[in-house]
Structure 1
């Protein structure tokens, strides 16, 4: 098999001067699938289809903006000298943690205005978010970014990867660890686990599907981030590693404290009921 082909073109097609990138197509596909699954689950839990769509209309632009702001802030040494590039998200350079922070802020404001349980909404969308993250990493693959340390052809071949992945990990004559793939598999694995568990009676109180998502994602992200070479740094560790530790510990502590102090909180499967919740 020939592994010395040219890299995959990150541009899917052009419409005159407009270039449509695979990155955008993959992200859009992930969002469509996530929304479809969230709508289906939301109906079962008493959240209307229109509420999901309206939330998306607010959350998407704010998530993109916050993801870019997060990235630019931690790369300010570069962008302070290249201000004209701060908005060029199609070249890469958005941080998923920044997107999640923006989305959670919007979810809180939106749900309070619509009188929907914030925790219930987060539970409904959490599995679809981690699925979208897993799919979205393939946009990084097309851009040859979010990769790991230098490695060898024989190492990648030993992982029994398809030839097109090995070839795409050959960047300017050097092979790199496919950390995009590691995270994609971790995220999709988390998606499957949450789907298998969240409908089990007596397992999740409201909010705990979301906490489980945070615990799963931050645990894997900590280790995978440590393998990357393009991470935003803060002291001795990468920014995302610091945040992963904080979120992992906070989610576990918060989950158990809610169970202990608020035992009357409703179950996730109760759906949208007017019952005690904190």
Structure 2
């Protein structure tokens, strides 16, 4: 018998609390904690990350929703009431990153913080939060791929609870949520290791590494999904943007190295070297 996970974790005063929300919030909290530690290590105030998130978080949520609506506009124009029905799903991580990035620029300008440094501080933690957040998609039975056999999933040596929960719409599905989650967590580790290498990276290159890593993986994983937003014909929005970010980050890294000679990423000081 399939042990399909209920997307509702519990009810609070009659209001259902979804696993998706719990997991997303957990990822955000972990990202804030890690980013704050790194901010302190490079000489910023502990409150800088918190102050950024006070506005950055709601701005990112709005951006994620607007992005999704924009690329599925006919549906929402036909039923405008669904625009605010976020509980039924419909947010996109790229929208959150774009909106959050715009606010980050203005926040850094206002507080006299290097935008590149702040991006370097946040990038690995954001990637980890994205990896955690994909498990919210798992709980919602979304972000999956085409039909596969149970034997295929078992051949991957996945835990039974994952296999059972990939039985969606009367068929087993490719666990693309898991592919991206693993890819993001590995990317987090890679960025942290590279960031610790003295003299290896220049300011801004941790962030550019994030764009390259995430863009590369998302391009291929998105092509396996069945719930993508489409730009034109069979061209998926996230694939186009992922390719653009990947190539753009490489070009920008090379250009900055040749033209701007950016300073080395701040390696911290004193006894704080153990902080990630």
**TM-score strictly above 0.5:** yes
Greater mean alpha carbon deviation, residues 167-176 or residues 119-128 = 167-176
CA gap 1:16/1:32 in 2 versus in 1, 3 angstroms: same
Once the two structures are superposed, residues 74-115 of structure 1 have per-residue CA deviations (whole angstroms, 9 ceiling, x without a partner) of: 111211122111122232211110000011001000000000
In structure 2, runs of 5+ residues without a counterpart are 270-276
Q: Distance in 2 between matches of 1:90 and 1:208?
A: 37
Task: State the match for 1:102 in structure 2.
Answer: 99
Task: State the match for 1:157 in structure 2.
Answer: 154
Task: State the match for 1:259 in structure 2.
Answer: 257
Task: State the match for 1:67 in structure 2.
Answer: 64
Matched residue pairs, number? 268
Q: Distance in 1 between matches of 2:191 and 2:138?
A: 25
Q: Distance in 1 between matches of 2:219 and 2:268?
A: 32
Q: Distance in 1 between matches of 2:149 and 2:65?
A: 33
Q: Is the 8 A contact 2:198 2:267 kept in 1?
A: no
Which of residues 238, 241, 246 in structure 1 aligns to 2:239?
A: 241
Q: Is the 8 A contact 2:124 2:188 kept in 1?
A: yes
Alignment of 1:35-46 (within 5 A): 35-46=32-43
Please state whether the residue corresponding to 1:234 is helix, strand or coil: strand
Greater mean alpha carbon deviation, residues 128-137 or residues 44-53 = 44-53
Q: State TM-score, norm by structure 1.
A: 0.94
Alignment of 1:80-99 (within 5 A): 80-99=77-96
Q: State TM-score, norm by structure 2.
A: 0.95
Deviation of the 1:60 alpha carbon: 0.3
1:174 aligns with 2:164: no
Q: Is the 8 A contact 1:232 1:239 kept in 2?
A: yes
Task: State the match for 1:199 in structure 2.
Answer: 196
Q: Is the 8 A contact 2:3 2:161 kept in 1?
A: no
Q: Is the 8 A contact 1:199 1:269 kept in 2?
A: no
Q: Distance in 2 between matches of 1:248 and 1:172?
A: 34
Task: State the match for 1:146 in structure 2.
Answer: 143
Q: Is the 8 A contact 2:147 2:173 kept in 1?
A: yes
Task: State the match for 1:183 in structure 2.
Answer: 180
In structure 1, runs of 5+ residues without a counterpart are 273-278
CA gap 1:11/1:239 in 2 versus in 1, 3 angstroms: same
Which of residues 19, 27, 50 in structure 2 aligns to 1:53?
A: 50
Deviation of the 1:16 alpha carbon: 2.4
Alignment of 1:120-131 (within 5 A): 120-131=117-128
Greater mean alpha carbon deviation, residues 47-56 or residues 108-117 = 47-56
Task: State the match for 1:9 in structure 2.
Answer: 6
Q: Distance in 2 between matches of 1:88 and 1:33?
A: 27
Q: Distance in 1 between matches of 2:88 and 2:135?
A: 14
Which of residues 8, 33, 40 in structure 1 aligns to 2:30?
A: 33
Deviation of the 1:5 alpha carbon: 2.1
Once the two structures are superposed, residues 222-259 of structure 1 have per-residue CA deviations (whole angstroms, 9 ceiling, x without a partner) of: 00000000000112320000001111111000011000
